Amino acid sequence: MIKKNEIYQAEVVATASSGDGICRIDNLAVFVENACEGDFLEIKITNVKSSYANAEILCIITPSDYRKEPECPVFNRCGGCQLMHIDYKKQLELKKQFVFDSLTRLGHLDLSEAEFFDTIGMEKPERYRNKMVFPIGKKADGRLTGGFYAAKSHNIIALSDCLLGDKFASDCLSAVISYMKENNVSAYDEAAHKGLVRRLFVRTGLYSHEAMAVISINGKSLPNEKKLVDKLLNIESGELNLASIIININDSKNNLVLGAQNRTLFGKKSIYDILCGLDFEVSPNSFYQVNPMQTEKLYNTAIDFAELKGSQTVLDLYCGIGTISLCAAKKAARVIGVEIVEQAIKNAEENAKRNGIKNAEFYTGSAEDISQKLLDKGLSPDVIFIDPPRKGSDEVTLNAILNMSPEKIVYVSCNPATLARDLKYLTAGGYALKKIQPVDMFPNTVHVECCVLLCR
């Protein structure tokens, strides 16, 4: 029987959806962080449960053919990436497997009649993020720091450059911390709900080259705000133009990235970018996919799955700032978008005007409330797009979708587990799985986006 602190030699035979390698010792699954399928390791057991154990690597005896040297110096400590030590082609295979396992093991779905495509990857899987969120806090010795949280904790791992985003974002972080030190500005303490600066949030536009810096604070203002603006404007930004500096007020005791109230310190209240040939205005609180190059592939897949021919009515649930809605509007007769975030709907309406699109309309409210109201009014869409947050949809919304009885449902998901749950509900309601397309929106991490077509 395996015991804590015992040492074993074992081969990694699989990869869990968490990114941990899986060994089997005495018929027990042992999860090993930062291991790679094919590694032969010396490991130390750190935790034992009835159905599994955890272990740490003491020595890599024989490295896997899939193993590579991580480019990031804090890979072993930062919680941002889980797969940077694995060859990218293998990452794509693993992500298809993650989706397959979720749909078959959690959803108990029969995929034999569905086309299941290989994961769509990136030519250059680095520097792809257009949004970086850096928590700011204090080290044990009281010094200010900023970076990313360590895995499964709120301990901040300091960094000078994150390879997932533009170097400009990391330089903004250095500038904010420098400003704080020079002006004696405190960092927010979660436990005590005291201190001022909580996070730095940086958005960049891939095609517009506009950038936005948002400083989230536990208060209404910062001391010497002009000095902060000057610090940020003096950063060498390359092709990027820092077009917006915003204070976000979040004085509630929560872990939300941003509060609801914004105040513009410099420039514009929002930036814009181009996606699928359309212009989109993006404000601090707007949902906008973090990987624009892969988003175009994802949304083009969704539109292709829908097979719009110009005559259909389309319902887009969880529409955000209208990205899928406006892409669909170019090929549909009528598009209705639904989103609970009021500012996002305002952005969606402005984006429709910006692009001269007149056959799209938007409603503010929860998907479950609005979908039921639209059903009560007799709406019978031909195609429904659904792109919910990580928690997935809910039975009220899914039931309304079933009662509307569209010919096609195109489900876009960022969480294979909740996707499996919702697809199980929809297939039980009379829909068949036809196509499954994983898309790698988040290289070097365990996260995977997926587009699924269901037909009545």
Catalytic sites, residue numbers: 414
| Structure token pair of residue 333 | 């007769």
Residue 274: both structure tokens together: 């181009």
Indicate the DSSP class of residue 129: B
Per DSSP, what are the bridge partners of residue 200? 134, 215
Q: What is the DSSP letter of 40?
A: E
Which H helix or E strand runs over 109?
Answer: none
Of 394, 405, 453, 393, the C-alpha closest to 429 is: 405
What would you report as the CA-atom Rg of the chain, rounded to the nearest whole angstrom? 23
Contact by Cβ (8 Å): 263, 249: yes
Q: Which DSSP letter does residue 120 get?
A: B
Cα(first)–Cα(last) distance of the chain, in Å?
51
Residues 241 and 209: their CA atoms lie apart, in Å, by 6
18 touches 29 (CB < 8 A): no
Annotate 427-447 with DSSP letters as a single string.
HHTT-EEEEEEEE-SSTTSS-
Tokens, residue 121: 């990857």
- Token pair 């009220």: residue: 396
Residues in the chain: 456
Give the contacts of 215 (CB within 8 A, at least 6 positions apart).
Answer: 176, 197, 199, 200, 201, 222, 228, 245, 246, 247, 248
How far apart, in whole angstroms, are the C-alpha atoms of residue 192 and residue 283?
30
For 289-328, give one letter per residue: b (16+ CB within 10 A) or e. bbbbebbbbbbebbbebbebeeebbbbbbbbbbbbbbbbb
Task: Tell me the three state secondary structure of residue 100.
Answer: helix
